[in-house]
Structure 1
Amino acid sequence: MPVESDISQVVRVVNVAGGRFAPGHLGELTQIVPFEMVDAVLAKTGTVQQRVRDLPSRVVVYLLLSAVLFAECGYRQVWDRMTAALDGLPVPAPTPAALAAARRRIGAAPLRALFDLLRGPAAGPATKGVWWRGRLVTAIDGTTMCCPDTPANLVVYRKGGGHHGGTGYPMIRLLALVACGTRGLLATTFGTTGRGETGYATDLVPAMRAPMIVLADRNFAAADLLAQIADRGADLLVRVKTGRRLPVCARCADGSWLSRIGPLEVRVIRAEITITTPGGQRTEVYQLVTTVTDPDCPATELVRLYHERWEIETAYCELKQTIGDGRVLRARTPAGLEQEIYALLVAYQALRITIADATLTAPDVDPDRGSFTIALNTARDQLIKAAGVIAETTVDLLGGIGRQVLEHLLPDRRCRTSPRVVKRAISNYAPHTASGRLRGPSHKATISIDVLVHPDP
């Protein structure tokens, strides 16, 4: 008499590259960084393997990108995740030393070339929340990252200072030009903290052009830098110190006035901004300069636009905290750090492109409602499963990652504010802050803007 079995067998077909190239993939993100693209940059940079090894150069590139998704794992553990779904395929089992030698063999050049291919706003002309009056809204700012305290790194990078004796780790300064609406990377530069942010900013000027408006804080209000940005055809909206004297050349009807910074004609907006929360009220005066002199663009609208600059801070949070969980970078040499940072930028940009592609299928959805955390965790799952490595014959902008993003959209942006507190502890003891907390609560807020008229021409 036949007996029904309560055991089910699930059979799944995994489509990856053949032979020794099979471990080389990024899960579904491989469709953003396809085999052909990786092979092209390897050929361009002269880093294709001279013979077919157990670790071909293409596979090593995908190993470096996969390591970004699993910042908590060593490279050998990352390899295990890349090969977890490849049962039945004769994949190698390299030692950590072999993986390190393979990474040194290809260097940073192919990762840098990959980033040059992928960088951009990750948005089309109809993407919601990306454009302002026909201009791509962008922001420029800098951040720092910690790297291992090794003799090799200390030759190039110096330890950060501070009131508590410094960070204990050498620091790398990273500057980026970011599309505020999608947080896609348009251009980046990095190096030692011995060079200031305004010095690095000149490296990013070639990426600025019309139609674009560049937002920046007070640190970037140098006359030479502003003139360089304007010469590229991009508009700018930059905060300057409230005590900076900018004479009135002509008055505008909305209370702003025309002035000059060096050879550059600018419009100056001086505004009193008041934030009211259940915990109280705070007022601060902002002084902004812009090359947008059109009287049809109200001063209050430009002040509100300046708030978009904070999107670059969110991008840095995603790069350093969401992906890296605040960890120190891995590489123990300057060459390794360059390779690792470019891998981080490529993986970040691939995730941003995936989120932007998903929101293209829902035109009423602003890209900033796509959860970067959801995209990252789904990409990790897809890599372990080796899912969606090879694209189907029909283009699917959504895919598994995009579907998860759209199913778990963040709420519409609310007007909220959080107090400044210690972002990362440097001691096991309680931080010396007014609240004694590392993270402060956020509060619902209302914002009022009053444009101040210059008292005297």
Structure 2
Amino acid sequence: MSRQSARSALARAISTVTSTTRTAAGVFAPGHLGELTQIIPFEMVDEVLAEAGTVERRLRDLPSRVVVYLLLAAGLFAGLGYRQVWARLVSGLAVPGVAPSSSALAQARRRVGVAPLKALFELLAGPSAGALRWRGLLVCAMDGTTMSVPDSPANLTRYGHQSGSHGGSGYPLVRLLAVVVCGTRTLLAATFGPFKTGETSYAPALFSCLHPGMILLADRNFAVKSLITAIAGTGADLLIRCKAGRALPRLATLPDGSWASVLGGVPIRVIDAHLTITLSGSSRRTVHYRLITSLLDQRRYPARDLVVLYHQRWEIETVYLELKSTILGGRVLRARTPQGVDQEIYALLTAYQVLRLAMADATAACPAITDDRASFSIALHTARDQIIRAAGILAGTTIDLLGRIGRAVLAAPLPARRARISPRIVKRAISKHRAKGQVDRTNHRAAITTEILTQPQLTAAASP
């Protein structure tokens, strides 16, 4: 075959693939979040900007709407600077335009401020259509975590360090507290501020998201009289672990082994249980749990079932893992001012929420795959790809209910969830010396048995 014939054959074999990108016009074109733009459409962003009074008075090269999408995209590309995030927003556009300087992007972020990002998060926060319910109750969990911010004088003054025997934290810390929906792991509410303020002080700011038909799970830190009273006042039920030595009056022992009591003026049931974990290697460990609940009907809500339900509290720990490890990769936030930190955290929470909503829509369309089998990593990487390609920004004439993100999640579901048997431990080294104790990384089959502890005799105790 001659060289000319070979070229002709190759030309016939090559197929041309073209794609059409539908975006906003002109200087607004870089303002998108790929396929996730359909969850946060242009009209929604324009509305929060108008309410905050931060819409530009004259058309700029960096309109406020574009800056909001830049901040949201930066939440998904946490390892990149803002100029690199901008490069990804325009990489799939037909006419990328001129890249703004770092100072121009910084001025634009300051111009937009915190209020639009906060309003956007509050607008999107809430359960998805397929959220987990237990006996008709929406199951939610509340807990706190910390996030590191740059060690600038302004951040240090606002947030402060964590003190400790090893010199404390290397960076100022923000304390974040949230309420999440178990199962779909969508966010209901969040608040944050200086590390020196404790979780129990931040908690009341979240209770506005609670209402009848919900049950809130929380750990021992939140078993406080004032918080129990406040939660009960919202109409929501609660299931909270408390310290085993907590003095609570035993008013009556119920047939399921739980007993009636009162805390902060709220009637409660107390459940004492031993959980025994037996591994395939014959290893065995028993832990004691004391739970308090406002669900007083022991026939409808047996003690053993409530102990099993409490395991769902771990869902919020998974949310923080996805935020701090999967998205941030353990990195420090970018902003060097408190206002920038607030803006960045709200953008991060909003980006996480829309990604979770897209995943929930996908699993709702496929009942065979439960929410906890949807891979967050796959959804995150697919969303990043869609931003780079500027794909799926505007819905076409044919409505795609799943989208590429949903199809990617359903194509590779995670295996069924195994029982968690390992204790909580810091895996990231904080010292050059080996940590005390050995961590068994072997995969064991685990059997968990629950024993409800009964004490039929009545005991007197001080009034709570």
Contact persistence 1:167–1:426 (CA under 8 A): no
Q: 2:295 aligns with which of 292, 297, 317?
A: 292
Q: CA deviation at 1:12?
A: 1.4
Structure 1 residue aligned with 2:453: 452
Question: Which of the residues 105, 112, 128 maps onto 1:106?
Answer: 112
Q: Distance in 1 between matches of 2:216 and 2:402?
A: 30
| Aligned mates of 1:170, 1:423 — CA distance in 2 | 21
State the distance in 2 between where 1:198 and 1:221 align. 9
Q: Which residue of 2 aligns with 1:443?
A: 444
In the alignment, the residues of structure 2 paired with residue 341 and residue 219 of structure 1 have an alpha-carbon distance, to the nearest angstrom, of 24
Q: Which moved more, 1:274-283 or 1:415-424?
A: 415-424
> Residues 171 and 441 from structure 1, CA distance in 2 versus in 1: closer, same or farther, beyond 3 angstroms?
farther
Asked if residue 176 in structure 1 is aligned to residue 182 in structure 2, the reply is no
Q: Which residue of 1 aligns with 2:461?
A: none
Match status 1:75 vs 2:78: no
Q: Which residue number in structure 2 is paired with residue 97 of structure 1? A: 103
Partner of 1:271 in structure 2? 273
Match of 2:142 in 1: 140
5+ residue gaps in structure 1? none
- Asked which structure has the greater CA Rg, the reply is 2
Quick one: which of 369, 372, 377 aligns to 1:373? 377
State whether structure 2 residue 361 is matched by structure 1 residue 318: no
| Deviation (angstroms), 1:155 | 1.4
Residue 7 (structure 1) shift: 4.6
Gaps of at least 5 residues in structure 2 are: 459-464
> Secondary structure of 1:417's partner?
coil
Q: Is residue 24 of structure 1 aligned with residue 37 of structure 2?
A: no
Residues 325-344 of structure 1 mapped to structure 2, 5 A cutoff: 325-344=329-348
**Aligned to 1:377, what secondary structure does the other structure show?**
helix
Secondary structure of 2:75's aligned partner:
helix
Aligned counterparts of 1:380 and 1:105: Cα–Cα separation in 2: 26
Do the aligned partners of 2:253 and 2:456 also contact (CA within 8 Å) in 1?
Answer: no
Which of the residues 193, 198, 202 maps onto 1:200? 202
Give the whole-Å Cα distance in 1 for the aligned partners of 2:325 and 2:41: 27
2:462 is matched with: none
**Number of aligned residue pairs:** 449
AA matched with 2:189? A
How much identity, in percent, do the aligned residues show? 58
Shift in Å, 1:51: 1.0
In 2, Cα distance between the equivalents of 1:269 and 1:252?
10
Structure 2 counterpart of 1:116? 122
Matches within 5 A, 1:167-246: 167-246=169-248
The structural deviation recorded for 1:440 is 4.5
1:186 alignment partner, SS class: strand
Match for residue 415 of structure 2?
A: 411
Q: Output the TM-score relative to the length of structure 2.
A: 0.94
Equivalent residue of 1:139, what SS? Answer: strand
- Find the aligned partners of 1:101 and 1:432 in 2 and give their Cα distance: 45
Deviation at 1:395, TM superposition (A): 3.5
Tell me which moved more, 319-328 or 411-420. Answer: 411-420
Match of 1:425 in 2: 429
Q: What TM-score, normalized to structure 1?
A: 0.95
Work out whether 1:38 is the aligned partner of 2:38. Answer: no
Quote how far apart the aligned CAs of 1:265 are. Answer: 0.5
Partner secondary structure for residue 63 of structure 1: helix
Q: Which runs of 4+ in 1 moved over 6 A?
A: none
* 1:11, distance to aligned residue in structure 2 (A): 1.8
- Root mean square deviation of aligned Cα: 1.6
Q: 1:426 to 1:123 in 2, by over 3 A?
A: farther
Distance 1:139 1:172 in 2: 20
Q: Among residues 157, 160, 184, which one is paired with 2:162 in the alignment?
A: 160
Paired amino acid for 2:406: G
Q: CA deviation at 1:269?
A: 0.5
- Report the alpha carbon displacement of residue 442 of structure 1 after superposing the two structures with TM: 4.9
Q: Aligned letter for 1:108?
A: V
Query: What is the one-letter code of the residue matched to 1:114?
Result: L
The answer to whether the 8 A contact 2:147-2:332 is kept is yes
